[in-house]
Amino acid sequence: MPNAPSDRTRVRRVPQRGQYDRETVEAILDETLISHIGFVHDGHPVVIPTLHARLGDRLYLHGSAASRMLRTLEGGAHVCATATLVDGLVLARSAFHHSVNYRSVVVFGQARLVEPEERLRALELFTEKLVPGRWPEVRPPTPQELKGTKVFELPLHEASAKVRTGPPIDDDEDYELPVWAGVLPLRTVVDPPQRDPRLDPAIETPGHVAEWRP
């Protein structure tokens, strides 16, 4: 298993949960829709949730050109992007060993503004990440819309994953206690699509919508 790519990416608490291989990091970023982006503004930390998309060794973030977060990123500020999936509640025999099963990724770095000519491709990436098959069906961005959007890329050089799986780990002497122990597995599901009230009733639900799964 690879080592941490830098000191600050090394998982300190419960280090055996740290994973530094690109495959694990990418799988978690691909399964999560959003990152929580941390940056420093006026000396204080700010954390904002934002949609993300990954291509190769880059994490893409986007938003309005007027956004405070994106203006801070544009100045070359350091950011930390963290994405988390909660997979289950871990019920131990002792209160102390209760936990959750989770998969998280932490990325440190400086984001780079994507050049205007790459922006269209990045927006396609975002749309296709949200709903695969959607991009060819919708009205593409106008030059004015592209101008009002900023896209940033954050390299994945300094990324680490932290993963907990499996049953509770109790103290040896607690295994004899008559207490139920195990995992309550959590999962995201999609409910039936809700049509826009203004949608023409003649328009049927396309496959890329009907068959979408988390």
Are 83 and 49 a contacting pair, CB within 8 Å?
no
CB of 23 to a second copy, least distance (A): 21
CB of 11 to a second copy, least distance (A): 10
* Phi-psi region at 42: left, alpha or beta (left = phi > 0; alpha = psi -120 to 50): left
Q: Which of 91, 113, 133, 164 binds a second copy (CB under 8 A)?
A: 91
Scan residues 120-159 and list those touching a second copy (CB under 8 A): 123-124, 126-127, 130-131, 134-135, 137-142, 145, 149
Question: Which among 140, 111, 112 has a CA at the least distance from the CA of 124?
Answer: 140
Q: Is 16 in the site for a second copy (CB under 8 A)?
A: no
Q: How far apart are CA 34 and CA 37, in angstroms?
A: 9
CB of 22 to a second copy, least distance (A): 20
Count of Cβ atoms closer than 10 Å to residue 42 Cβ:
5
| Choices 18-26, 53-61, 102-110, 111-119 (CB under 8 A): range interacting with a second copy | 102-110
Are 62 and 122 a contacting pair, CB within 8 Å?
yes
Q: Is 79 in the site for a second copy (CB under 8 A)?
A: yes
Q: Is 117 in the site for a second copy (CB under 8 A)?
A: no
Q: Which of 86, 116, 118, 165 binds a second copy (CB under 8 A)?
A: 86
Are 26 and 129 a contacting pair, CB within 8 Å?
no
Q: Is 75 in the site for a second copy (CB under 8 A)?
A: no
Are 198 and 54 a contacting pair, CB within 8 Å?
no
Q: Is 12 in the site for a second copy (CB under 8 A)?
A: yes
Residue 198: partners with Cβ closer than 8 Å, 6 or more residues away: none
Scan residues 172-201 and list those touching a second copy (CB under 8 A): 174-175, 177-200
Q: Is 2 in the site for a second copy (CB under 8 A)?
A: no
Q: How far apart are CA 24 and CA 156, in angstroms?
A: 12
Q: What are phi and psi of 128, to 5 degrees?
A: -70, -30
Q: Is 20 in the site for a second copy (CB under 8 A)?
A: no
Q: How far apart are CA 171 and CA 33, in angstroms?
A: 36
CB of 133 to a second copy, least distance (A): 11
The contact pattern for a second copy, residues 23-52, with x = CB under 8 A and - = no contact, is ----------xx-xxxxxxxxxxxxxx-x-
CB of 155 to a second copy, least distance (A): 15
